[in-house]
Structure 1
Amino acid sequence: MPAPRTYTRDAAYRSLPGGALDVDHDLYERIAAADRRLVQEFEVPVRSGRAWEVPAGHIVRLLQVDGPQVGDLNLWSLHDPRERFWAARTRQLQRSSMTTYDRFWSTLPHLRPLATVVGDSLAGHPDAEVIHDLLGTRCDPYVNRMLAGVDFDRHCHSNLTRAVLPHGLTEYDVHDVLNVFQLAGLNHERRYFMDACPAQPDDFFEFFAETDLLCALSTCPGGDLSVHMWGPEAASTEEQLQHCHPLGVKVYALDDEALAGWEPSQRAAYRGADGLHGMRLRD
């Protein structure tokens, strides 16, 4: 079989200088380096999930505790959860994995940055281009039943569902995720693969809230993904549990001086034409 072709074409989605995709690195470097005040801290236990609110202008740090551990992250606009993280468009506008200065884009008709990545301790890792995976999505009990023939209720979809119920959301609100700390990509057959998480204790991934957010994080039941979850070589759920660890979450507030020059993100300027979007709700 011939080797896969390597493409060197420019990205399809590009903005003009100073446009939406031309992120002000100096601003976000200043925000990341600014003095910060810890306002919330907790751990998400193994094979569970938690949801929490984050005000605009705050930083969220997801970190390895005694890792390595993969996490599945969902984001919503706090005041209108119909606006949520749009993984597919984020892949097109950013890349197939996320790192510093990449942005979490929201669904139509809003289309704005919900958050911007401001810190990634794995950015210098040799496999950085396939860490914090945006190609795949959350594991779920439905595909597990289809592939393994058994029911298991601690998949990320289930964990996220339980996490958001107290916030008035349901299973239908859980959406495609960012697989934080996950090493994954496409193999030589162009098929999706996952490999062992390279993170170590104290490794972290940070994002800055561009608007008020509801966040939810699941600690994947596959743990560090060093053993197969499905197929003829799959480990049992008990064996997988040996590779599971908690994840830490810290939320920080910043002083007003650190936010000088920053404004909360605004929903898309497009307002519809020829009656196509006559039902759109006003901001």
Structure 2
Amino acid sequence: MGPRPAYQASEGSALAVDRGFYDRLAESEDRRENVERFVVPIRSGRAWEVEAGQICRISTPEGAQVGDFNVWNRHNPRERLWAARTRQLQAAHVTRHDRLWSTLPYLRPLLTIVNDTLESYGVDSDGGRVHDLLGTRCDPYVNRMLTGEDADVHCHSNLVRAVLPYGLTEFDVHDVLNIFQCTGLTEDDRYFMQPSPAKPGDFFEFFAEQDLLCALSTCPGGDLSIPLWGPDARDPIEVCRPLAVEVFQPDADLTADWKPPAVAAYGGLHGLVKS
């Protein structure tokens, strides 16, 4: 047996997910109404809203394609995905019943994953897993550092353009969840990426625990089967595919007993004394 996870929850904490509730939401596809559907073309980005209590599905209509995902509280963009804490509380690769957690001082679930057709992928022979919080988005700054050339075809740039209509800027774009991406760590503890195992029709589905603003980039690396940097790098446009997004409103009785999570209960002053 290996070491135990460091973060151990007490009984009844927010980490103790009611799996039956989320499984019923996933299984009751005939008891939900489609309220929005769109396709994000290759090498582009799009932002959209998901109301608390709705379900959102991101899918691969034409086959493997990585999607870089950001998420905020719709009414307060300072509350957004905290990738590092989510890795500690959940896992470095997330799947059904895992949650994406928000930044301090809020520290509450933004969403809970209710279905994942790649859940059975597990761990491959190289140690790769899917839906990655280990790495982050590709960006033109790192690209310039690695290649000496400027290029705007990056997930960071796609996300920046996507959120501008919502009054957000580059400073609001943050570390992503890499949906459908397969990654791991090498023997010398370095990040690696492998081709996405997604097939046409695979999907990743989540329940909005609060009103959300979401943004998604169809990664310019496509399914990551072609190296982006190094001696074998070339333009991977031939393996770039669109992603589809659908938003559903479940029947009211399915969520009748659900309540949006409260912000973190910590009531201290960080050791400061009131004057």
Same fold per superposition (TM over 0.5): yes
Equivalent residue in structure 1 for 2:7, among 7, 13, 21: 13
Deviations 1:1-53 (CA, angstroms, capped at 9, x unpaired): xxxxxx71111111122211111111111122221110000000000000001
Moved more, 9-18 or 134-143: 9-18
- Residue type matched to 2:202 in 1? D
State the partner residue of 1:4. Answer: none
2:12 partner SS: coil
What's the counterpart of residue 195 of structure 2? 196
- Aligned to 1:82, what secondary structure does the other structure show? strand
For residues 32 and 188 of structure 1, do their structure 2 counterparts lie closer, same or farther at Cα, with a shift above 3 Å needed? same
My pick for the range that moved more, 189-198 or 13-22, is 13-22
Are 2:23 and 1:29 aligned? yes
Report the alpha carbon displacement of residue 275 of structure 1 after superposing the two structures with TM: 6.6
Partner letter of residue 251 of structure 1?
V
* Correspondence list, 1:17-166, <5 A: 17-34=11-28, 35-127=31-123, 130-166=129-165
Q: Secondary structure at the match of 1:26?
A: helix
Q: TM-score, normalised by structure 1?
A: 0.92
Q: Does residue 217 of structure 2 align to residue 222 of structure 1?
A: no
Structure 1 unaligned residues grouped into runs of 5+: 1-6, 279-283
Q: Tell me what 1:210 maps to.
A: 209
Instruction: Tell me if the contact between 2:68 and 2:179 (Cα under 8 Å) persists in the aligned partners.
Output: yes
Aligned to 1:3: none
Tell me the distance in 1 between the aligned counterparts of 2:184 and 2:238. 24
Tell me if structure 2 keeps the 8 A contact 1:96–1:130: no
User: Are residues 99 and 63 of structure 1, via their aligned partners in 2, closer, same or farther at CA, if it must alter by over 3 Å?
Assistant: same
Q: Partner residue of 1:264?
A: 260
Kindly provide the amino acid, as one letter, of the partner of residue 101 in structure 1: H
Aligned pair count reads: 269
Deviates more, 1:158-167 or 1:267-276: 267-276
| Residue 126 of structure 1: how far off its partner (Å) | 4.4
Letter paired with 2:267? R
Deviates more, 1:99-108 or 1:126-135: 126-135
The equivalent of 1:241 in structure 2 is 237
> Aligned partners of 1:276, 1:117: CA distance in 2, in Å?
38
Point out where structure 2 has 5 or more consecutive residues left out of the alignment.
none
Deviates more, 1:125-134 or 1:65-74: 125-134
> Where has structure 1 moved over 3 Å in runs of 4 or more?
126-129, 274-278
